[in-house]
Amino acid sequence: MLFAYDFIDLKVSDAAADALTQELRRLPFRGVVGVQWGLDLTTQKYSWDVGFYERKDVPREGLQEIRGIPFVFNQGPLSKRLSGKLLDNNDSGFVVIDPVAGAK
């Protein structure tokens, strides 16, 4: 895995923090949240997606806590595009929003 060790200034909404905390509690392992850019196979469009890693598989220097939730950003320079964005949760799941543009 490639990790972005730079600070990523991702904001996390209350709704997203609550949902992530619930998901982490349900995992059968000690989890870390990952936010990745990739192809959504349902829509055939690229978007940000949330997944989970086992903490033991993530180097300590790759971990970053946001609102008390452990995150890893493992797409190098691509992960830096998350800085200034907001991770939210709504009826369709997790979304990354650009507060300036108001878009995903």
Q: What is the pLDDT of residues 57-97, one digit of tens each?
A: 988 888 999 999 999 998 888 899 999 999 999 998 999 99
pLDDT attached to residue 59: 87
**How much is the mean pLDDT over the chain?**
90
Backbone φ and ψ of 91, nearest 5° = -60, -25
The third-level CATH classification (topology) of the domain covering 11-97 is Hypothetical Protein Aq_1857; Chain: A; (2.60.300)
pLDDT attached to residue 10: 96
pLDDT attached to residue 101: 72
Asked if 52 and 23 count as a contact pair (C-beta separation under 8 A), the reply is yes
pLDDT attached to residue 76: 82
pLDDT attached to residue 21: 98
Sorted by where each begins, the domain ranges of the chain are: 11-97
Can you list the positions of beta strands (E) in 23-84?
A: 31-40, 45-54, 63-66, 69-72
Asked if 96 and 87 count as a contact pair (C-beta separation under 8 A), the reply is yes
